[in-house]
């Protein structure tokens, strides 16, 4: 039974590498499989979407467990590109979330070193001493939000846990957690519309309704591109396609 289970696990790991994603819903699924993204084929997509394809390949590489050193520089290239259209602007934002996680990973190593010496986490990041220049600010240029805490139900054990995040996303999940668990897809009813003679989409959800064009947002997600019966969206840290 053990060998059969191992063979099945190997098959699951092999499958994503063998399937070619030929549709937008396959390239940007709302619940991506863990793979390196070699099967992504951008043939037939508009030129404007090629940066989004490049991001998706990098995103899948992260989910597959690649170290930040292997993808951080390319993520930073999205942040440094001119945000002169909805796709470029969104790619910069989602890339910053992953860069923040890479920085948090480095700060975590410093915090754990402090813990080994003091059997508690510091009251402030300043107790670590000067952070390396690359870690002093979050990717948005803000100060890190850091706070030590006690395990739930053990209020006297102060400094045995901590919360760290960028100023604009203080509850951002750290890198290991983000790669293990992905958010559930949004549930929307989507209807094509027009605004000033240009394509738009009406999104209906349980608590929100909006008619938006590329660049507009609904429930924290940004509409990037409207295709033929599909659209490309950006969440906090990933892209995903929706059908309508």
**DSSP assignment string, 116-167:** HHHSS--SSGGGG-SPPGGGSS-TTSPPPEEEEE--TT-TTSTTSEEEEE-T
pTM of the model: 0.86
**Is pLDDT at 4 greater than 60 in this prediction?**
no
**Is pLDDT at 26 greater than 60 in this prediction?**
yes
**Is pLDDT at 111 greater than 80 in this prediction?**
yes
- Once rounded to an integer, what is the mean pLDDT over residues 79-97? 97
| Residue 215, token pair as written in the block | 């660049």
220-235: pLDDT as tens digits: 999 999 999 999 999 9
User: What is the per-residue pLDDT for 54?
Assistant: 96
Between 20-24, 99-103, 120-124, 189-193, the lowest mean confidence (pLDDT) is in 20-24
Per-residue pLDDT band at 21 (split at 50, 70, 90): low
**Is pLDDT at 107 greater than 60 in this prediction?**
yes
Q: Domain-by-domain residue ranges, the chain?
A: 98-180
139-164: pLDDT as tens digits: 999 999 999 987 777 767 778 999 99
**Is pLDDT at 39 greater than 80 in this prediction?**
no
| Distances in whole angstroms, Cα of residue 75 to Cα of each of 33, 79, 152 | 20, 7, 36
User: What is the per-residue pLDDT for 44?
Assistant: 87
User: What is the per-residue pLDDT for 31?
Assistant: 83
Dihedral (Cα; 200, 204, 210, 211), 10-degree rounding: 20
**Is pLDDT at 191 greater than 70 in this prediction?**
yes
């Amino acid at each position: 039974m053990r060998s059969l289970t191992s063979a099945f696990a190997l098959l699951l790991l092999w499958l994503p590498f063998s399937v070619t994603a030929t549709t937008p819903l396959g390239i940007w699924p709302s619940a991506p499989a863990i793979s390196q993204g070699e099967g992504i084929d951008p043939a037939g997509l508009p030129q404007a979407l090629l940066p989004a394809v490049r991001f998706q390949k990098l995103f899948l590489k992260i989910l597959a467990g690649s170290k930040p050193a292997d993808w951080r520089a390319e993520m930073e290239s999205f942040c440094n590109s001119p945000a002169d259209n909805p796709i470029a602007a969104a790619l910069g934002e989602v890339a910053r979330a992953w860069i923040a996680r890479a920085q948090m990973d480095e700060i975590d190593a410093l915090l754990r070193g402090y813990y080994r010496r003091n059997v508690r986490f510091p009251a402030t990041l300043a107790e670590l001493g000067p952070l390396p220049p690359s870690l002093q600010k979050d990717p948005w240029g803000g100060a890190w939000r850091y706070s030590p805490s006690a395990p739930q139900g053990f209020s006297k054990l102060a400094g045995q846990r901590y919360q760290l995040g960028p100023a604009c996303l203080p509850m951002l999940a750290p890198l290991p957690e983000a790669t293990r668990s992905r958010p559930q897809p949004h549930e929307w009813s989507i209807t094509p519309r027009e605004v000033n003679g240009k394509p738009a989409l009406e999104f209906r959800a349980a608590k929100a309704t909006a008619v938006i064009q590329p660049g507009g947002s609904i429930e924290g997600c940004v509409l990037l591109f409207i295709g033929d019966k599909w659209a490309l969206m950006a969440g906090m840290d990933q892209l995903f396609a929706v059908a309508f």
